[in-house]
Structure 1
């Protein structure tokens, strides 16, 4: 499931200066959507690139245009949301027959994509369920967040619509993303605190990230070879001390290679770099695929992994290829042989049971950290077929 963070920035937030500051903080953090009043749509587009949803207000026909009118794309929202100032937020009483609601009519007949509902009692929960039948987005906000019937809504409408839960803190967002193990598709965050906005976006990213099973492989051979074209992958991110990348000559068995975060008496640390090996080797990417190191160019994404198997994404800033003397490292895992070529230099380190170890100090019998999967790959995709790599 793809999670999203919406940021509420309508006139309830304050004047335009207050709204602008909130939106700017959201853009800098990387929110997916900004929810504003319709008159602010063009203003938001001037601030940066983001999906913009707009409240329709009392006019449920605002998406209708004159037949010959030229649309103003800057002022046209990516999604129109009904419910503010109407039945959705309780400004207008809900009718006994919910199917006759103006908000529902707007979704079904007048081009709105979303419905905003404040959950005041059981009737509003039912109203949200009705709206979800036709709405692309169903935004639900509790009068008291702790009693939002989110479990009921996830269970009943989770597959019919993108359910967006209103929250005010990152901790509430975490709960919304984890409820019933499925969680809401998105959260609508109502806060001015830039730290809370960033924390919520980080939670979104963490929910999407893969966790890998890493295991130990026993080194069966290590030998100096001739020179080869090796690749330093310089990213636009700084690595933590326990992070690196997964690389190897065989896609089924990738070695954990540390980033150059450690100080050395010979060269300064390069905490944005992984000296990843020869050009032929595979490197794992965030989508679970692999690429050849030779293919990496500026702007590509690579997967960063720590020694516990937690992952994140990093953007390649530069791929630096130079001819260098190499080591061939061979290891055995689950009775299978895997190997890779790494530069013959003490600054290149792998993870062993003894800790961070330079490739120049590796010996037969050492155990190194690897990611092993008993499948082959074709153009980076896992395939169920017999492929011999040697």
Structure 2
């Protein structure tokens, strides 16, 4: 996840308010305005006069930036930077920050050498795109390749503790979490976005499965559903493979009747326990949610397959059978 700062120089109260509402990590203002901005929000406010700016106008400037970063100091490249010098610096340090005067420049900075710079400092000229920049750089986790799983069986599985993940975000139809009994085979579980005659939609909620199940997390990690707690950032995946982040507001663990879902994808078998209720939905290959009570053998749903092998949620190379 990138850091996004806003440079409020010259000072404009409206732009500072927009920056605070957009969710930037910090704002930069002239020293005389630091105290007044600090009074508006619990956010880091930096004095422009103290920032380590470097203008890349020669090879010597590039070398100076590398030298400063090598000493553990911060560096912000002034707008006007070009890709090749930034690539050269990134090859030697991950902690680089650059200014960006437009949405396109922010996107460019975030993608250099595929991993991009660590921090983007948005200039006032890009203020109107600030919310888009924050959403793309701080929330988006890129695109994930989803696959088609064929349901092979749906059977009653008795009672079990299931986890409702209530997030601080309103999700859309086709969005949810990747969950499975194995980290090597996870299913896209749709948020409770759909209406039915008995229960109102709860688009902030993913009724994700049994406590022991794996959930795909940001940063190529997994966690058990039972380990999720208030404040945890979870990976939200859309039917089109797009990803974003949501923060857990609370988790509800309750005993409910469960279903065992079994499926196959390219010769791999995957399973998952989900609550036996109409409001719990997986996602069809066309992006439409399908209730687990309507699932039958032969139906197609979205999934993700991977190599087995996790230790405390981190990928490892080891012979594991789950």
* TM-score, normalised relative to structure 2: 0.87
Q: Residue 223 of structure 1 aligns with which residue?
A: 155
Q: Residue 7 of structure 1 aligns with which residue?
A: 6
Cα 1:244/1:133, change in 2 over 3 Å:
closer
Cα 1:141/1:323, change in 2 over 3 Å:
same
Q: Tell me the secondary structure at the aligned position of residue 205 of structure 1.
A: helix
RMSD: 2.5
Q: Residue 232 of structure 2 aligns with which residue?
A: 300
Instruction: Kindly indicate whether the alpha-carbon contact (under 8 Å) linking 1:22 and 1:192 is maintained by their aligned counterparts in 2.
Output: no
Q: Residue 110 of structure 1 aligns with which residue?
A: none
Instruction: Kindly indicate whether the alpha-carbon contact (under 8 Å) linking 1:281 and 1:293 is maintained by their aligned counterparts in 2.
Output: yes
Instruction: Kindly indicate whether the alpha-carbon contact (under 8 Å) linking 2:157 and 2:258 is maintained by their aligned counterparts in 1.
Output: yes
Q: Residue 134 of structure 2 aligns with which residue?
A: 201
Q: Residue 322 of structure 1 aligns with which residue?
A: 254
Deviation digits for residues 115-173 of structure 1, max 9, x if unmatched? 243x6xxxx3345324313333443445xxxxx35123213333456544333332332
Q: Tell me the secondary structure at the aligned position of residue 47 of structure 1.
A: coil
Count residues with an aligned counterpart.
316
**Superposition deviation, residue 338 in structure 1:** 1.4
- Aligned equivalents of 1:132 and 1:217: distance in 2? 50
Instruction: Kindly indicate whether the alpha-carbon contact (under 8 Å) linking 1:169 and 1:191 is maintained by their aligned counterparts in 2.
Output: no
Q: Pairwise mapping of residues 1-390 of structure 1 onto structure 2 (< 5 A)? A: 3-10=2-9, 13-14=10-11, 18=12, 20-56=13-49, 80-81=50-51, 114-117=52-55, 124-126=57-59, 128-135=61-68, 136-142=73-79, 148-160=80-92, 162-178=95-111, 181=114, 183-191=116-124, 195-205=128-138, 209-353=141-285, 355-389=288-322
Q: Tell me the secondary structure at the aligned position of residue 283 of structure 2.
A: strand
Cα 1:292/1:163, change in 2 over 3 Å:
closer
- Aligned equivalents of 1:239 and 1:187: distance in 2? 27
Deviation digits for residues 282-334 of structure 1, max 9, x if unmatched? 22221322222222222122111111221111111121122221111111223
- Aligned equivalents of 1:309 and 1:376: distance in 2? 23
Q: Residue 76 of structure 1 aligns with which residue?
A: none
**Superposition deviation, residue 180 in structure 1:** 6.2
- Aligned equivalents of 1:28 and 1:322: distance in 2? 36
Q: Which runs of 5+ in 2 are unaligned?
A: none
Cα 1:296/1:132, change in 2 over 3 Å:
same
Instruction: Kindly indicate whether the alpha-carbon contact (under 8 Å) linking 1:36 and 1:52 is maintained by their aligned counterparts in 2.
Output: yes
- Aligned equivalents of 2:316 and 2:126: distance in 1? 46
Cα 1:249/1:47, change in 2 over 3 Å:
same
**Superposition deviation, residue 376 in structure 1:** 2.1
Instruction: Kindly indicate whether the alpha-carbon contact (under 8 Å) linking 1:191 and 1:197 is maintained by their aligned counterparts in 2.
Output: no
* TM-score, normalised relative to structure 1: 0.73
- Aligned equivalents of 1:184 and 1:301: distance in 2? 22
Cα 1:373/1:6, change in 2 over 3 Å:
same
- Aligned equivalents of 1:365 and 1:240: distance in 2? 26
Bigger CA radius of gyration: 1
- Aligned equivalents of 1:382 and 1:185: distance in 2? 23
**Superposition deviation, residue 7 in structure 1:** 1.6
Bigger relative contact order, structure 1 or 2, given CA contacts below 8 A and separation 6+?
2
Cα 1:181/1:338, change in 2 over 3 Å:
closer
